[in-house]
Amino acid sequence: MVQYFGARRLQRRTDFPLLAPLLDITVALDPQLLVAYKFGAIFLSAPSSYGAAEPQKAIALLRRGIQANPEEWRLWHDLGFIYYWDLKDYRAASEAYREGSRHPDAAPWMQVMAAVIEEKGGNRETSRFLWTEIHNSAEDETIRKNASMHLETLRALDDIEELERLAGRFRERAGRWPQSLQEMIAAGLLQGIPADPQKYPYQLQSDGRITLHPNSEVKLDYGPSPEAR
């Protein structure tokens, strides 16, 4: 399964027609192979730029894993996360976290996430909490790297929102958009040239918009939710 996914990526293919069938075979042979459910769900649900873009199949795989491994509360976390991040189905996400929180060994934050998602939906703070938990608890470097990329996205979105707000304040005072970030520093709105999580300086456009440096690899198209964009 991993070899298939890796080979398709190396070929720069964006379709993975055999991924779900291979996962079905894998878990049929070993229903307790937890890594197949976790990694399989990640690959299946990820957008077509780096995955199969089939979140419903990821959900079916995880529910199969939960049925075969009812003691594994983290599979409920994985299920809730796909509902939350990929499908923006916050009610289903909250229900998954709540169901997982009933397991006697479940982490306390499972119940917290059920309540927060039910109340706030897909705001950035909720997304940041989830990706931080995934990053800190992941044993696999690929999962940690993926979580780090999403955390970079969330930080950059926060930075851009704040910088555009400050550019708006400059316009209110001066009657025009600032011509450079240095001009915003001179106006006392910034203490220095702000940089994205990869240390590249943000770019100020003539209409007050903030964009990434051309060399930056931070991805803004992840987007935590339609609400937060």
142-161 per-position pLDDT tens digit: 878 888 998 999 999 999 99
Arithmetic mean of pLDDT, 53-78: 96
pLDDT over 90, % of the chain: 61
What is the reported pTM?
0.68
The pLDDT value given to residue 227? 33
Please indicate whether residue 188 or residue 19 has the higher confidence score (pLDDT).
Answer: 188
- Residues in contact with 29: Cβ distance below 8 Å, sequence separation at least 6, in sequence order: none
Domain ranges of the chain: 1-69
Q: Is the pLDDT of residue 55 over 60?
A: yes
- Nearest C-alpha neighbor of 110 from the set 77, 82, 81, 83: 77
Among the ranges given (15-24, 159-168, 178-187), the one the predictor scored with the smallest mean pLDDT? 15-24
The pLDDT value given to residue 122? 75
Burial 59-89 (b: 16+ CB within 10 A, else e): bbbbebbbebbeebbbbbbbbbbbbbbbebb
CB-neighbour burial class of residue 170 (10 A; exposed 0-12, middle 13-18, buried 19+)? buried
